[in-house]
């Protein structure tokens, strides 16, 4: 009989012993938690009810309460305290559950981020595109990872867009031949630039700089892109579509924007010194306070463009369409370079 009892106890206790051994270095912490829980239960069930009731024992005696009624009072106190402790444990449990979900979610995002980075290094265009759009989804799902995602895409663009196309693939007009190979070679760069342009700028870290200096991406389609305060020094965006793009305070010094479409774009305060925008469409663009010193705007269209406060020192405006430009002054024109083909507003033709 005793042997069977000992065997039963051992069988019951063995899982707990195994669990205790598995805990390893955390035994002290687990023991402290168990002791704390035991202390709380002893306080709630034994000490607190007795102390609270017996502290008012004289008052109870004056009321003529019986011992059974005193016991009932203690039980009422126990019930109230247990409910409070249960509520506290519930709140702690909810918080721990929330934190567990958050940790699991962060782990999943980390895994997704790692896979997307691996995809960017693939030799297959389709795989790289998948990685780019996966990074965009991560930036939308996690505000904390928005900055790192943008930094990765910026680095990807800087690294892979600096090399100009092979001269053998340039046609007689000087443009890149419209072959399937050349178009596919730019698809991933276009996708990365589009993701950066349509990002939620409110999630940008304060210290983040959109550094795309030297970017080589002609014919890019960046409609309504938000590139405010970006560094695009020396960039090649020839014939790009930047319609309604936000280029406020952007640095475009020495950039190539020949033939670019900048309809209704915002270039307020932008720095375009030595930039070339020959034949560019700037209709309705906001060019207020922009610096166009020694920039080339030959044959550019300024229809209803705002030039208030713009710096035109040494700016080449030969053949430019300025007849409907807004806020253009004689002082500005006096510093610019014009010719007989420059179309000026009626009040400035004298």
Looking at residues 279-292, what average pLDDT do you find? 98
Model confidence over 273-285: pLDDT tens digits?
999 999 999 999 9
Tell whether the model's pLDDT for residue 179 goes beyond 90.
Answer: no
Per-residue pLDDT reduced to its tens digit, 161-171: 865 555 444 44
pLDDT of residue 173: 47
Q: Per the structure block, which two tokens stand in for 57?
A: 């024992």
C-alpha 267: how far from its chain's center? 23
* Residue 324 binned pLDDT confidence (cut-offs 50, 70, 90): very high
Report the percentage of the chain scoring pLDDT > 90.
59
Give the list of residues 6+ apart from residue 87 with CB closer than 8 angstroms, or none: none
CA distance 348 to 321: 13
pLDDT, position 86: 72
Per the listing, tokens 């698809």 go with 187
Tokens of 45: 């069930």
pLDDT attached to residue 106: 77
Q: What is the mean pLDDT of the chain?
A: 83
Longest distance between any two alpha carbons in the chain, whole Å: 122
State the Cα–Cα distance between residues 36 and 46, nearest whole angstrom. 15
d(CA 187, CA 124): 12
CATH number given to 210-350: 2.160.20.80
Higher-pLDDT residue of 106, 147: 147
**Do residues 245 and 227 lie in contact, with contact meaning Cβ atoms separated by under 8 Å?**
yes
Q: What is the pTM of this model?
A: 0.72
pLDDT digits (tens, 9 = 90+) for 246-267: 999 999 999 999 999 999 999 9
d(CA 143, CA 120): 21
On the question of pLDDT at 11 being above 90, the answer is: no
Residue 98 has pLDDT above 60, yes or no: yes
Residue 105's pLDDT band (boundaries 50, 70, 90)? confident
Higher per-residue confidence, 36 vs 176: 36
Where do the H-state alpha helices sit in the chain? 2-23, 27-42, 48-54, 57-62, 67-120, 125-141, 146-160, 180-197, 330-335
Residue 207 has pLDDT above 70, yes or no: yes
Q: How far apart are CA 241 and CA 13, in angstroms?
A: 74
Give 112's contacts (C-beta < 8 A, 6+ positions apart): 134, 137, 138
């Amino acid at each position: 009989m005793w042997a069977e009892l000992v065997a039963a106890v051992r069988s019951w206790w063995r899982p707990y012993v195994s669990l205790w051994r598995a805990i390893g270095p955390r035994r002290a912490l687990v023991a402290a938690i168990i002791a704390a829980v035991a202390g709380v239960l002893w306080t709630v069930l034994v000490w607190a009810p007795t102390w609270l009731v017996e502290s008012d024992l004289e008052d109870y005696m004056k009321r003529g309460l019986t011992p059974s009624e005193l016991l009932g009072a203690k039980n009422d106190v126990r019930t109230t305290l247990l409910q409070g402790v249960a509520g506290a444990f519930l709140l702690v449990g909810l918080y721990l559950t929330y934190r567990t979900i958050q940790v699991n979610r962060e782990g999943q995002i980390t895994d997704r981020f790692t896979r997307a980075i691996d995809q960017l290094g693939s030799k297959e265009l389709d795989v790289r595109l998948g990685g780019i759009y996966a990074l965009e989804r991560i930036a939308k799902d996690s505000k904390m990872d928005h900055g790192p995602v943008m930094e990765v895409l910026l680095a990807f663009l800087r690294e892979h867009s600096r090399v100009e196309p092979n001269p053998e693939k340039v046609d007689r007009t000087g443009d890149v031949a419209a072959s399937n190979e050349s178009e596919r070679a730019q698809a991933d760069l276009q996708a990365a630039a589009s993701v950066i342009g349509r990002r939620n700028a409110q999630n940008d870290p304060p210290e983040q700089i959109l550094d795309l200096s030297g970017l080589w991406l002609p014919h890019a389609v960046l409609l309504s892109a938000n590139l405010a305060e970006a560094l695009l020094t020396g960039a090649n965006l020839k014939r790009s579509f930047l319609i309604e793009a936000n280029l406020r305070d952007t640095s475009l010094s020495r950039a190539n924007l020949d033939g670019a479409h900048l309809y209704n774009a915002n270039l307020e305060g932008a720095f375009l010194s030595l930039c070339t925008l020959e034949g560019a469409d700037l209709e309705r663009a906001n060019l207020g306070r922009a610096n166009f010193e020694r920039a080339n705007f030959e044959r550019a269209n300024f229809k209803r463009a705002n030039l208030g406060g713009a710096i035109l020192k040494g700016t080449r405006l030969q053949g430019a369409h300025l007849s409907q430009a807004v806020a253009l002054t004689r002082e500005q024109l006096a510093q610019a370079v014009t010719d007989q083909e420059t179309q000026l507003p009626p009040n400035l033709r004298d």
